[in-house]
Amino acid sequence: MSFRTYFESLLGRLKTGSGRVIKLEGEYRLIRILGAGGMGQVWLAEKRGAAGFSKLVAIKTILRAKLGDPRTMEMFLDEARLVANLVHPNIIQVIQLARTRREVFIVMEHVFGVTLLQMIDRAKELGEEVPLDVIAFIVARTCYGLAYAHKKHDREGRHLGIVHRDICPTNLLISYRGIPKLSDFGVAKARTSSVDDERSVAWGKYPYMAPEAVHRRGTDLRSDIYSLGLVLYESITGRLAHDVESTRALKFRLETEKPHDLDPRAHRPYVPEQLANIVRKATALDPKDRHQDAMELAKDIEQWLLMSFLFPDENRVSDYLVERFPTAQKHRYW
In contact, 287 and 222? CB cutoff 8 Å = yes
Rounded Cα distance between 116 and 112, Å, is: 13
Rounded Cα distance between 24 and 14, Å, is: 7
Rounded Cα distance between 90 and 84, Å, is: 14
Rounded Cα distance between 115 and 167, Å, is: 12
In contact, 177 and 320? CB cutoff 8 Å = no
Strands of 180-182's sheet in order across: 113-115, 172-175, 180-182
In contact, 298 and 144? CB cutoff 8 Å = yes
328's enclosing H/E stretch is helix 328-331
Catalytic residues: 166
Q: Which of 211, 233, 229 is nearest to 287 (CA)?
A: 211
Rounded Cα distance between 149 and 87, Å, is: 9
Task: State the amino acid at position 209 in one-letter form.
Answer: M
110's enclosing H/E stretch is none
